[in-house]
Structure 1
Amino acid sequence: MKTTFRTNVFLIVALLCLLAPAGVRAADFLVNAEWLEQHIQDPKLVVLEVRYHPHRYSTVGHIPGAVQVQRFKDLGDNFGHPTMRFPVREAFQATLRAWGVNNDSTLVIYDDSMTALASRLYYLLELYGFDMRRVKILNGGALGWTAFNKLSKEPAKRPRGNVTLKPANRKMAVEWTGVYSDVVARRDPGIVLLDARPRDMYSGKLVQHSIQGGHIPGAINIVSLEGVDGQNQAWKAADELAALYRDVPKDKTVYAYCHDGFRSTLAWLQLKTLGYRDVRVYNGGWDDWGNNLSLPVVVGDKPYDGDFDL
């Protein structure tokens, strides 16, 4: 009875995927728990867990064989300011090798945060030239896996890898100087500045992770997490994603930011999936801008206010 029920559930999920709009079907980096079950014994497969609270790797458990990713230490610049600037190539390469990643590895990334954490790791892999045809994100994350599978508390043991990364793709990122010059100073009509944080952080009602609230002058607010179903931790259909970003023209360059580079990389990935060609992530985000008292800030729910309306 249990096997029959499980089979029926998977058939329903598969049918829904077939009926989904083309944009979601084209997102072939998204895989489900059934796919992972079928491939988990592949010797070239490396499963990477990025939990919001990293201690749960050990206390709650993880997918058997999954390597722990400590989201701040492993995905940021440990000696830079702010901490969540992108790690340099050499440091990130050493981290990947410690996880057992080789050039021909297939990577499956999952989190418990609606793929926002997984997207940061996905972004860094593309930033440094890893073969992205070999990188998958587990749609539904830890929740999707535990629907039919157990977790393990045994730490993963993998031989050291030998992956070799490339220099950073500069067209994928933007520094504060570019944001200030292109958006604040010149108001380049070819650029859309996108703040991917929740609305109360954008407006300044909630001050978090910085000493001041608000947003960068000119930024529009689109909450990237609204593109994921919080109940099942899975991406929404392509038409819903397209509706979320309907105010962002596809012929524009998009600069995306959030507080520390997780929601913004989710926005980057969503936009790329929808066919946007030039999307860049602000290296440092609001943790950089909002803690620099020399830089201008707008408070409220509009892109500009006060002197910036002129």
Structure 2
Amino acid sequence: MKDWPLLIEASQLADSLHEPKLLILDTSSADNYAKHHVPGAVHIAPAELQCGIKPAVGKMPAPDQLQLLFSRVGLTADKHVIVYDDEGGGWAGRLIWTLDVIGHRNYSYLNGGLQAWLSGGHPSEDVANLPPPSEIDITIDSTPIAEIEDFINLLGNSQLGIWDARSPEEYRGEKVLAQRGGHIPGAVNLDWLELIDNGNDMRLKNLSALQARLDHIGLSADKTIITHCQTHHRSGLSYLLMKILGYPHIKGYHGSWGEWGNREDTPIELGSTPRASDQQP
């Protein structure tokens, strides 16, 4: 089987669609999957990647639920997973984070997802793929998981970076989606949408430019970076980007603002900071 890079283009996948060890997972909306998807792709509804329990609805499902999910889609240890979605990489990144959590690290992200695939004139299908369930034992690896207890006492540490991937309005506390608005003290805001080139089939922007931007706002690869949003959906893309850029120490805070902003014992800042997302390198 070929050696797949983490970031692949539609043309690369089109040339290898029928490799037997590929498992293509589509995290698009149900409507888009029913209308058109990459041939052979198996659908995972985005809601299956989150527990759905308020207030922190974005926390990962219980291990037995993950076991059922990945058995249903036919995951086995020898499969190389191709992940994509229809929105520029948020849900795809959340799935890649989940694969990291269960210790399956053979995967690639289809740059631009469904939009890039269709824009490239590649074939699609509208019939659901239902593979035979696999026998897979899920073991949780806590390394990619950030919990409040892991970092609340490290706020302000120069070796810790917190990437808030929400909108600037949420970050400043002007748009409130929890009991309290604002941001984690010391967190740096870079909206996930700023990573996507909307004029280029929703593919990622130039990677060198994105790295320069991250360095400029203090989210460099020499730090441990924790990324979050409201439900660890949008921050799926920030997690994925750091994987692509080769960051060695990254974590996803799956409780995200749905947890932090709904607790009374968590510190909060309002307004912008000197390293807010509207600053360009």
Give deviations 1:236-265, integer Å, cap 9, x for gaps.
Answer: 222111122012233222221111112223
Measure the CA separation in 1 of the matches of 2:65 and 2:186. 34
User: What's the counterpart of residue 108 of structure 1?
Assistant: 82
The within-5 A match list for 1:79-98 is 82-98=56-72
Q: Kindly indicate whether residue 34 of structure 2 is the aligned counterpart of residue 55 of structure 1.
A: no
Answering whether residue 150 of structure 2 is matched by residue 175 of structure 1, we say: no
* TM-score, reference length from structure 1: 0.79
User: How many angstroms apart in 2 are the aligned matches of 1:273 and 1:139?
Assistant: 11
Which of 277, 288, 305 matches 2:259? 288
Three-state SS of the structure 2 residue aligned to 1:177 is helix
Deviation (angstroms), 1:79: 5.5
- Tell me the C-alpha RMSD between the 2 structures: 2.2
Equivalent residue, structure 2, for 1:200: 169
Q: 1:64 is matched with which residue? A: 39
Q: Which runs of 5+ in 2 are unaligned?
A: 276-281
How many Å separate the matches in 2 of 1:272 and 1:153? 31
The runs of at least 4 aligned residues of structure 1 exceeding 3 Å deviation read: 78-81
Does the aligned pair in 2 maintain the 1:258–1:285 contact within 8 Å? yes
Q: Distance in 2 between matches of 1:84 and 1:48?
A: 20
SS in 2 for 1:277: coil
Structure with more helix by fraction: 1
Distance in 1 between residues matched to 2:56 and 2:219, nearest whole Å: 28
The answer to whether the 8 Å contact 1:203/1:215 transfers is yes
Whole-Å separation in 1 of the counterparts to 2:272 and 2:114 = 34
Q: Measure, in 2, the Cα distance between the counterparts of 1:111 and 1:213.
A: 29
Deviations 1:191-245 (A, max 9, x none): 122211121111122223x233211122111223322212221122221111220
The residue aligned with 1:275 is: 246
Query: Could you say which residue in structure 2 is the equivalent of 1:241?
Result: 210
Corresponding residue for residue 136 of structure 1: 108
Per the normalisation by structure 2, the TM-score is 0.87
Cα distance per residue 1:86-120 (max 9 Å; x no partner): 22333212201101112111211111111111011
Is the 2:197–2:205 Cα contact (8 Å) retained in structure 1? yes
Pick the aligned partner of 1:158 from 123, 131, 147.
Answer: 131
**What are structure 1's unaligned runs of at least 5 residues?**
1-26, 305-310
Q: Number of matched residues? A: 268
